[in-house]
Amino acid sequence: MMVLQEIINNYRATGELSHEEIVFLLGLEKPDEVGGLLALANEVREKHLGPDVHLRGIIEFSNHCVRRCVYCGLCYGNRELKRYRMHPHEILDTAAGAVEMGFRTIVLQSGEDFHYTNDMIAYLVAAVKKMGAAVTLSLGDRPQAAYTSWKAAGADRYLLKFETSDTLLYRQLHPESTLARRLKNLTYLRDLGYQLGSGNMVGLPGQTITSLANDILLMKELSLDMAGIGPFLPHPATPLGKARAGTMEMTLKVLAVTRLLLPRTHLPATTALGSVQEDGRRAGLLAGANVLMLNLTPVKYRALYDIYPAKAEATSKPQQLKEEAEKLVDELGRRVSSGYGHAVKIEYQ
Ligand code: 5AD
């Protein structure tokens, strides 16, 4: 029989956890034991990364998408959604405003929208870099030539979640694609020199604790620079509309165990976590997270980037979001980082 204390002692000595031990930790339910796990993750975060919290500004510049991911409100099949595209000038104005406000990283995210050519994206990347910010792209599966040209244009990071490490579940959720293809793209991005972000969703229909343990081990195997971990939230206009949502508790356990195994990886307290429960992001920051991604999309488009329902930050202006984030960080006795928040291995070189 496994004993919690032994697992923890062993982890403290080796920094390792076996698959079986991860499953055991994710299965904890007693509040004091779960609390102990989250507190340990918080301790590991403090030891390796200190009090710094990195703020990233995300611009969701188009909600058009060619894909039919069955959990996502932006999926091609959702004919009810009004679609928008921001003009490149509008994207750059938004980015310039964010840089002026002090954001050091701009995340450009959209559905898989081929309206923006590779050259247009490269132009946006170069222009934002010139403003003095680091650039993260989150544009899905793209041809390798696109990844190459955006890196050449100066993009620093790419965020491409694998969502689930279960091959069959991946296929069910993404009818036109495979986990193998996603992993190939992740490897390709890493080889091109991007700082690599990926991650999963927690509480997907059909997902087990064993599968979540595999997700965590995959994040380790990929030695991710950033890992986004958020609860699945059913969107009524999708085939999974009536499924059950992932819970905050399980999401926090996954986040915490990930922190134990990836002590220096940037882990955001995700918007989805803040959407499942009001204090979700605070709880995330206390369970191993060290990043907040703030939504800088112009308010008139915000509700249309309808990935899942009741998204947090639906109407607040960037300045207000930043002040709220700073207040939260301050209340926790932490500090907002003034650096770019590059991957730690790179920053410490
Ligand atoms: N619930 C939670 N997260 C979702 N995402 C997409 N749809 C949902 C949903 N219904 C997440 C995916 C994707 C990111 C942009 O949003 O993890 O990578």
Please give, one letter per residue, the 3-state secondary structure of 17-83: CCHHHHHHHHCCCCHHHHHHHHHHHHHHHHHHHCCEEEEEEEEEEECCCCCCCCCCCCCCCCCCCCC
| Cβ-Cβ contacts under 8 Å for 21 (sequence gap 6 or more) | 2, 7, 10, 11
Q: How many CA atoms lie within 13 A of 252 on its CB side?
A: 27
Instruction: Give the type of residue at 41.
Output: A
Q: Output the CA 304–ligand 1 centroid distance in Å.
A: 14
* Residue of 296, 293, 306 whose CA lies nearest to 341: 293
Contact 263, 44 (CB under 8 A): yes
Dist. CA 118–CA 191, nearest whole Å? 19
pLDDT at residue number 349: 39
Name the residue of 59, 69, 71, 215 to mutate for ligand 1: max ligand atoms within 8 A of Cβ: 71
Tell me the two tokens of residue 53.
Answer: 């919290």
Contact 220, 175 (CB under 8 A): no
Instruction: Give the type of residue at 40.
Output: L
Q: Tens digit of pLDDT for each residue in 195-243? A: 999 999 999 999 999 999 999 999 999 999 999 999 999 999 999 999 9
pLDDT at residue number 2: 76
First to last CA, the chain: 43
Is the distance from the beta carbon of residue 170 to the nearest atom of ligand 1 less than 6 Å?
no
Q: Output the CA 308–ligand 1 centroid distance in Å.
A: 7
Dist. CA 223–CA 241, nearest whole Å? 33
Q: How many CA atoms lie within 13 A of 346 on its CB side?
A: 16
Is the distance from the beta carbon of residue 103 to the nearest atom of ligand 1 less than 6 Å?
no
CA of 109, closest atom in ligand 1 = 15
Q: Tens digit of pLDDT for each residue in 117-165? A: 999 999 999 999 999 999 999 999 999 999 999 999 999 999 999 999 9
Q: Which residues of the chain have pLDDT under 50?
A: 348-349
Structure pTM? Answer: 0.97
Q: Output the CA 227–ligand 1 centroid distance in Å.
A: 13
* Residue of 222, 195, 227 whose CA lies nearest to 105: 195
* Residue of 47, 5, 106 whose CA lies nearest to 318: 106
Output the CA angle 253-256-257, nearest 5 degrees: 85
Instruction: Give the type of residue at 194.
Output: Y
Is the distance from the beta carbon of residue 307 to the nearest atom of ligand 1 less than 6 Å?
yes
Report the nearest-CA residue for atom 7 of ligand 1.
72
Name the residue of 74, 307, 311 to mutate for ligand 1: max ligand atoms within 8 A of Cβ: 307
Dist. CA 119–CA 319, nearest whole Å? 31
Residues 268-280 as b/e (b if ≥16 CB within 10 A, e otherwise) read bbbbbbbbbbeeb
pLDDT at residue number 348: 44
Adjacent-strand bridge partners of 202: 231
User: Residue 252 belongs to what H/E stretch?
Assistant: helix 248-261
